[in-house]
Structure 1
Amino acid sequence: MCLLLGASGAGKTLLLKRLQKLCQMGAQEDLGEAPVTLPTVGTNLTDLTLRKRKITVRELGGCMGPIWPKYYSDCRSVIFVVDSVNTVQISSSCVQLLSVLSAEPLQSAAVLVLFNKRDLPCTMSLVELKALFRMDDIIRSAPQSISTLETSARSGQGLQELLSWLFSHRSHDTG
């Protein structure tokens, strides 16, 4: 199982819907208009299937941060979504990420830090975001395999790369 985590409003629900659509289409095509989403209160459990390979993704609402650890035991990979436009939220997202990385059940999980909303104006550059998060230090000191990726769930930027990462780090789900 893969956990999809991040602060409220980071774009997790839209990201999951877009990944579902990409898997259903089977090839990179125009994703069309982004669907309307509401903040997740609770969890969304979604199976993504690509070329007869399946992975289960559990999205946990950002407001559920205090109870995220209850879901760590069955987790093989983590996608941590950061809103790269919301400068007010950056420091709290960094604290959340460090908390996730320090959790004992996640010590062997593969982790992908997604800098989302790259299509919007006034977004911080990837260099700025990595510097604020001190990503080089985090990657060097964490026991997990950590990758970073820029995405835009709205435009589809980076979603094929995200699917590739997801399926290369999947647990032994069916397929």
Structure 2
Amino acid sequence: MCLLLGATGVGKTMLVKRLQKLSSRDGKDDLGDPPLTRPTVGTNLTDIVAQKKITIRELGGCMGPIWSSYYGNCHSLLFMVDASNPTQLSASCVQLLGLLSAEELAEASVLILFNKIDLPCYMTIEEMKSLIRLPDLIACAKQSITTVEISARKGTGLSDVLRWLQDTHRTNG
């Protein structure tokens, strides 16, 4: 099981819909127009077939206080950050620290997604890594942490996410 977490409005639902389409297109990069999405209230389960079936459980950002009740059986964690929203970054950092310190997630591989890089006001990856003190987080975390810049809307970086999911679930089951 893969958990997809992040604050409200960071683009989790768009990511899942785009990954599902990308995985069903045999590597063709043309994803067409972005799908319409609504804020997730509750949880969505989506299966992505990438060499094998990977189930992604997306939890709505508003469910942050009860995310921990979904940590069991989590092999990988996608944590999404809105790269165009600097005011939300500190709250996202606090959420990420909570996830990294959770005992149930100690064995999970973590992919931090810096989304919305297609917007003119996005922060660079260097700025975001500095603001959330990513090198310190990586040094202290038990988990393997990877980062990628993406645009779920445009499809930028999604093949890297799919490849990470394939590699992670090949070794973790």
In the alignment, does 2:42 pair up with 1:33? Answer: no
Give yes or no for the alignment of 1:94 onto 2:103: no
Q: Which residue of 1 aligns with 2:82?
A: 83
Q: d(CA) in 1 for partners of 2:86 and 2:17?
A: 25
- Structure 1 residue 50 displacement after superposition: 2.1
Contact 1:26 1:50 in 2 (8 A): no
Question: Take 2:50 and 2:162, find their aligned partners in 1: how far apart are those partners?
Answer: 9
For residue 63 of structure 1, report the CA deviation from its aligned partner.
0.2
Shift of 1:29: 2.6
**How far apart are the structure 2 equivalents of 1:20 and 1:75?**
19
Q: Deviations over 1:79-129 (max 9, x none)?
A: 000000011110000000000111010011100000000111010011000
What percent of counterpart residues are identical?
58
- Who is 2:164 aligned against? 165
Residue ranges of structure 2 left out of the alignment (5+ in a row): none
2 CA distance for matches of 1:40 and 1:71? 16
CA deviation after TM superposition for structure 1 residue 156, in Å: 0.5
Distance in 2, matches of 1:104 and 1:47, equals 26
Aligned to 2:9: 9
- Matched ranges for 1:56-67 at <5 A: 56-67=55-66
State the distance in 1 between where 2:120 and 2:41 align. Answer: 28
Contact map agreement 1:82 1:113 (CA 8 A) in 2: yes
Give me the whole-angstrom Cα distance separating, in 1, the residues matched to 2:106 and 2:128.
Answer: 24
2:146 matched to 1:147? yes
Distance 1:133 1:14 in 2: 24
Secondary structure of residue in 1 paired with 2:87: coil
C-alpha distance in 2, partners of 1:50/1:111?
A: 18
- Name the TM-score, length of structure 1 as normaliser: 0.96
Q: Which amino acid aligns with 1:5?
A: L
Report the alpha carbon displacement of residue 26 of structure 1 after superposing the two structures with TM.
Answer: 1.3
What amino acid does structure 2 have at the position aligned with 1:68? Answer: W
TM-score if structure 2 supplies the norm length? Answer: 0.97
Find the aligned partners of 1:146 and 1:117 in 2 and give their Cα distance.
20
Aligned to 1:70: 69
* Counterpart for residue 133 of structure 1: 132
Per-residue deviation, residues 113-152 of structure 1 (Å, max 9, x unmatched): 0000011101001100000010000001101000000000
Contact 1:28 1:160 in 2 (8 A): no
Partner SS for 1:25: coil
Give the Cα separation in 1 of the matches to 2:55 and 2:35.
Answer: 21
